[in-house]
Amino acid sequence: MLISFQNMKEVAVPKCRGGEKELFRRHVDTGDNQIMLARLEPGASVGIHTHEDDSETIYYLSGKGKVYYDGRYESVQAGVCHHCPKGHTHGTFNDGDEDLVFFAVIPKQ
């Protein structure tokens, strides 16, 4: 299966998971996985949430920010991968001065 993100319309998700501003994403739900290319503008975030029934893996493509993971913050930047297993808590914050762009996969478990 090929996924052509450049041919998809970018959709704004206001206050994603209770975060600040908007998450902009190009998204596919295959039935087994949610796959997305997303970006957060400076000051935007995906709110802190727990993955009760799934996990999430995020690979950062550009920009800088931080991830809240199980009670602590970790810096992220291009080339870093973050994984949040089922039952764990995380959130993503763009505290940089350029867009934080990432690729994420959320498999149904």
| Residues 49-107: tens digit of each pLDDT | 999 999 999 999 999 999 999 999 999 999 999 999 999 999 999 999 999 999 999 99
Q: What is the CATH number of domain 16-96?
A: 2.60.120.10
DSSP class of residue 7 equals: G
Give me 75's structure tokens: 């810096």
Give the contacts of 39 (CB within 8 A, at least 6 positions apart).
Answer: 23, 24, 25, 63, 99, 100, 101, 102
Q: pTM (2 decimals)?
A: 0.94
Domain ranges of the chain: 16-96
Whether the per-residue pLDDT at 1 is higher than 90: the answer is: no
* Amino acid letter for position 24: F
**Which residue is it, tokens 């959709």?**
11
| Residues 4-63: tens digit of each pLDDT | 999 999 999 999 999 999 999 999 999 999 999 999 999 999 999 999 999 999 999 999
